Amino acid sequence: MRKLSELENELAELFNSSLDGEKLFYLGIQIGRELERDSIAEYFSQYFEDRKNSSALQSKKQKIVANINSLFLSVIRRAVTEEITKNYGWYVSKRDLLGRDVEGFDEEIVKQYLINYCYAEKQDYSDEYNLYFLAVGKLKEVFEEYDLALQLECRFSNDKGKELIIVSKCTDITVHTASTNLDSIYADWELYKLEEFYNAISKLYSLIQIS
């Protein structure tokens, strides 16, 4: 079995470097001989078991992050819709000429959805904007507890393609793909931590019908 353990290490090194088909072939022969010598009829490679478990774990994490982003996308869409309905329009622009952020959402909308619109950046050669929002109130506290940036980001498209637009109808816009900086660091988080964060933000919006 010691020899098998050595071969397992060699297998891992082979896959972690540039994979050589010929070396892999002869390594398989060596493993087969050791199994035959020790009369082992059934054998599961520890290396491939570890890879499978790691892949399954990352898949679970990705699913949770996708749920988190989907929740925030729904929150942003609802907040934008209410802003348009309540104030007969929503100003979407780059920062003003003095570098200040544009006016945010209505105060009641901010209190309800725990986010506030900050500013937009227009994408070159397209009618898309990156929109930036800040987490406020209880949501801000959760973000700080998990050491996350307080900023949310989403993509927004508008056929008019102007630097400053006033959205007067919900049908004039398409808001899609929300994200946080969690997208770039979640792989380093333990699964339980991701689940706790998702549960914490879900609880904040549990009394609001988000869809």
Burial of 146 (0-12, 13-18, 19+ CB in 10 A): middle
**Rounded Cα–Cα distance for residues 167 and 127 (Å):** 14
- For residues 24 and 100, membership in a common domain is answered with no
**Rounded Cα–Cα distance for residues 172 and 157 (Å):** 9
Give ∠ CA 131-181-116 in degrees, rounded to 5: 40
Nearest alpha-carbon partner for 174 in 209, 142, 126, 141: 126
Cβ within 8 Å of residue 194, ≥6 positions away? 61, 64, 65, 186
- For residues 199 and 136, membership in a common domain is answered with yes
Nearest alpha-carbon partner for 15 in 56, 59, 54: 54
Domain ranges, residue 38: 2-43
Average pLDDT, the chain: 75
- For residues 94 and 194, membership in a common domain is answered with yes
In a domain, 123, yes or no: yes
* Token pair 């004039």: residue: 172
Burial of 14 (0-12, 13-18, 19+ CB in 10 A): middle
Higher pLDDT, 196 or 91: 196
- For residues 95 and 161, membership in a common domain is answered with yes
**Rounded Cα–Cα distance for residues 162 and 99 (Å):** 18
- For residues 196 and 117, membership in a common domain is answered with yes
Is there a contact between 149 and 180 (Cβ–Cβ < 8 Å)? Answer: yes
In a domain, 179, yes or no: yes
- For residues 104 and 170, membership in a common domain is answered with yes
- For residues 108 and 172, membership in a common domain is answered with yes
- For residues 31 and 98, membership in a common domain is answered with no
User: Tens of pLDDT along 92-122?
Assistant: 665 544 444 567 889 999 999 999 988 777 7
- For residues 168 and 121, membership in a common domain is answered with yes
Burial of 32 (0-12, 13-18, 19+ CB in 10 A): exposed
In a domain, 10, yes or no: yes
User: Tens of pLDDT along 118-147?
Assistant: 877 777 666 677 788 899 999 999 999 999
Half-sphere exposure at residue 197, Cβ-oriented, CA atoms within 13 angstroms: 27
* DSSP state letter for 169: S
Average pLDDT over residues 7-27: 58
In a domain, 27, yes or no: yes
Q: How many helices (H) and strands (E) does the chain have?
A: 6, 6
Average pLDDT over residues 69-80: 89
Q: Give the total number of structural domains in the chain.
A: 2
In a domain, 48, yes or no: no
Please give the pLDDT value at position 111. 93
In a domain, 129, yes or no: yes
DSSP bridge pairs for 153: 132, 179
User: Tens of pLDDT along 202-211?
Assistant: 999 987 766 5
**Rounded Cα–Cα distance for residues 35 and 101 (Å):** 68
Please give the pLDDT value at position 96. 47
- For residues 110 and 199, membership in a common domain is answered with yes
Average pLDDT over residues 148-165: 68
Average pLDDT over residues 57-79: 89
